[in-house]
């Protein structure tokens, strides 16, 4: 494949040029034009590296499209895969939350096992457009999280683990009333039910959270799997993460936590929907505030795949970042954090994961996505 008249976005600059791909690898990049007849004219569209997504809950929307409705797992994966590929994502870490707890989503043990099996089966048959890896999100304040982790820790696609605690009263849900409003999105709860749930969750946290976090972090060290900490709020949370060897702070809820992560050399990942909306839907710190303070390293589409690319251009417009710097949050930086050395930038020798993007006013629109030089959308 020979691409001409593209606005090439490298790690450091943007220029109109020519890119040659052979055997799924970027071979040459040149400024200017080419007279080659077989060149594909991109008509001034952007040529970006394929986006790398380290944390997405998008699959859950297809597993349970309505409250109480469970969908076929293979079918859910296939449409989730099509959505991420159409959004320009060529590498995706599917966030599978483990630990049985009624109040935090589609997270029963049977569902967790089916999802892991489905991912392995579809990937082995080469039926997925993007390259998928497994990200185990471990709800540490649950009775069975270590047991489930042990059943999945040898999954061939497992590449990332995060430890999280969604017990109301701290971290993301420091405001219990906000937690209640979120739980009531699918129907009202009585005061008695809320009080009972809060008491039950507090008991589980005291019984399990610290011990299970220690067990999972220790297992990951032995297995050589990188670990992320979720929803850090206090400096103490970040200091604990540093002592555990954690490499990624997922969605810190306060600026002081993000500042502490930077001080301790822990990369910070924030939600792209937070950037696009101009703030957190949970009332936490604004991702744009962190970007303007140079405290943002990586973006995640979280629950909206298309938000990843939109947020990149919003960082340019709203945080005064350069496009190469903004692109690094969805390509080079997540690749580095995850140890993916063969992708993440437009450079000779790297895999030809590419996205062709045109602009509709301020909105970036993906026109084509390539994985290893092969068009997948």
Strand pairing of 227-230 and 248-250? parallel
* DSSP calls for 109-166: HHHHHHHHHHHHHHHHTT--SSEEEEEEEEETTSTTHHHHHHHHTT-TTEEEEEEE--
Block residue for tokens 């050399």: 265
Contacts 24+ apart (CB under 8 A), 363-370: 363/310, 363/313, 364/46, 364/309, 364/310, 364/312, 364/313, 366/86, 366/87, 366/88, 366/309, 367/45, 369/50, 369/85, 369/86, 369/88, 369/89, 369/90, 369/129, 370/1, 370/50, 370/90
Residue 301, pLDDT > 90, answer yes
Judge whether 37 lies within some domain. no
Which of 69, 145, 57, 59 has the alpha carbon at shortest distance from 101? 145
Domain count across the chain: 1
| Domain range for 267 | 50-343
Proportion of the chain in helix, strand, coil states, percent, rounded to 5: 40, 25, 35
pLDDT tens column, 70-125? 899 999 999 999 999 999 999 999 999 898 776 544 456 788 889 999 999 999 99
What distance separates the 2 farthest-apart alpha carbons in the chain?
75
Judge whether 358 lies within some domain. no
| Helices marked H in 224-331 | 235-243, 255-263, 272-277, 287-292, 307-318, 323-328
pLDDT tens column, 45-74? 999 999 999 999 999 899 988 877 889 999
Judge whether 185 lies within some domain. yes
Judge whether 195 lies within some domain. yes
> First and final CA of the chain: distance in angstroms?
16
Cα(335)–Cα(345) distance, integer angstroms: 9
Judge whether 375 lies within some domain. no
Retrieve residue 330's tokens: 């969805």
Which of 263, 252, 254 has the alpha carbon at shortest distance from 228? 252
Kindly report the average pLDDT of the chain as a whole number: 92
Residue 188 DSSP SS3:
coil
Which of 105, 134, 103 has the alpha carbon at shortest distance from 205? 103
Judge whether 307 lies within some domain. yes
Tell me 186's DSSP state.
G
Q: How confident is the model at residue 175, as a pLDDT?
A: 67
pLDDT tens column, 162-199? 999 877 766 666 666 666 666 656 667 677 766 767 77
Judge whether 366 lies within some domain. no
Q: What is the pTM of this model?
A: 0.91
Cα(41)–Cα(7) distance, integer angstroms: 11
Which CATH number covers residue 63? 3.20.20.140
Percentage of the chain modeled with pLDDT above 90 = 77
Q: How confident is the model at residue 106, as a pLDDT?
A: 44
Q: How confident is the model at residue 80, as a pLDDT?
A: 98
Q: How confident is the model at residue 186, as a pLDDT?
A: 62
Mean pLDDT, residues 258-277 taken together: 97
* DSSP calls for 201-243: HHHHHHHHHHHHHHHHHHHHHHHT--EEEES--SHHHHHHHHH
Q: How confident is the model at residue 111, as a pLDDT?
A: 83
Q: How confident is the model at residue 281, as a pLDDT?
A: 72
**pLDDT higher at 215 or 283:** 215
Q: How confident is the model at residue 64, as a pLDDT?
A: 87
Retrieve residue 241's tokens: 């993460």
Mean pLDDT, residues 20-27 taken together: 98
Judge whether 2 lies within some domain. no
Tell me 50's DSSP state.
P
Residue 64 DSSP SS3:
coil
* Orientation of helix 109-124 relative to helix 73-86, angle to 10°: 60
Q: Which residues contact 158 (CB under 8 A, 6 or more apart)?
A: 133, 134, 136, 152, 225
pLDDT tens column, 332-354? 999 999 999 999 999 999 999 99
To which H or E segment does residue 17 belong?
Answer: strand 14-22
Cα(53)–Cα(334) distance, integer angstroms: 7
Q: Which residues contact 135 (CB under 8 A, 6 or more apart)?
A: 54, 55, 93, 94, 95, 96, 159, 160, 161, 162
């Amino acid at each position: 494949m020979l691409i001409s008249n593209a606005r090439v976005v490298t790690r450091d600059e943007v220029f109109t040029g020519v890119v040659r791909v052979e055997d799924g690898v970027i071979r040459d990049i040149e400024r200017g034009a080419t007279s080659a007849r077989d060149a594909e004219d991109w008509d001034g569209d952007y040529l970006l590296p394929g986006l790398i997504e380290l944390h997405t809950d998008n699959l859950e929307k297809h597993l349970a499209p309505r409250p109480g409705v469970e969908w076929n797992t293979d079918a859910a994966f296939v449409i989730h895969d099509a959505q991420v590929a159409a959004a320009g994502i060529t590498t995706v870490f599917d966030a599978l939350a483990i630990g049985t707890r009624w109040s935090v989503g589609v997270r029963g043990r049977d569902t967790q096992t089916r999802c892991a099996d489905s991912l392995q089966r579809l990937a082995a048959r080469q039926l997925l457009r993007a390259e998928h890896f497994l990200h185990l999100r471990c709800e540490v304040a649950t009775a069975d999280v270590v047991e489930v982790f042990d059943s999945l820790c040898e999954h061939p696609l497992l590449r990332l683990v995060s430890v999280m605690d969604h017990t109301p009263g701290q971290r993301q849900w420091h405001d219990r009333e906000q937690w209640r409003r979120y739980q009531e999105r699918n129907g009202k709860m009585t005061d008695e039910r809320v009080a009972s749930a809060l008491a039950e969750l507090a008991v589980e946290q005291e019984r399990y959270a610290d011990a299970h976090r220690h067990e999972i972090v220790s297992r990951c060290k032995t297995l050589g799997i990188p670990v992320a900490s979720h929803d850090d709020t206090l400096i103490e949370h970040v200091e604990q993460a540093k002592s555990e060897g954690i490499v990624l702070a997922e969605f810190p809820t306060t600026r002081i936590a993000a500042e502490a992560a930077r001080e301790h050399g822990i990369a910070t990942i924030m939600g792209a929907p937070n950037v696009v909306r101009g703030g957190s839907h949970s009332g936490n710190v604004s991702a744009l505030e962190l970007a303007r303070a140079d405290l943002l390293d990586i973006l995640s589409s979280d629950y909206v795949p298309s938000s990843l690319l939109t947020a990149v251009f919003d960082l340019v417009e709203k945080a005064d970042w350069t496009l190469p710097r903004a692109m690094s949050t969805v390509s080079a930086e997540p690749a580095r954090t995850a140890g993916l050395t063969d992708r993440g930038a437009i450079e000779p020798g790297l895999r030809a994961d590419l996205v062709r993007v045109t602009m509709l006013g301020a909105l970036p629109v993906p026109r084509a996505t390539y994985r290893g030089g092969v068009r997948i959308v």
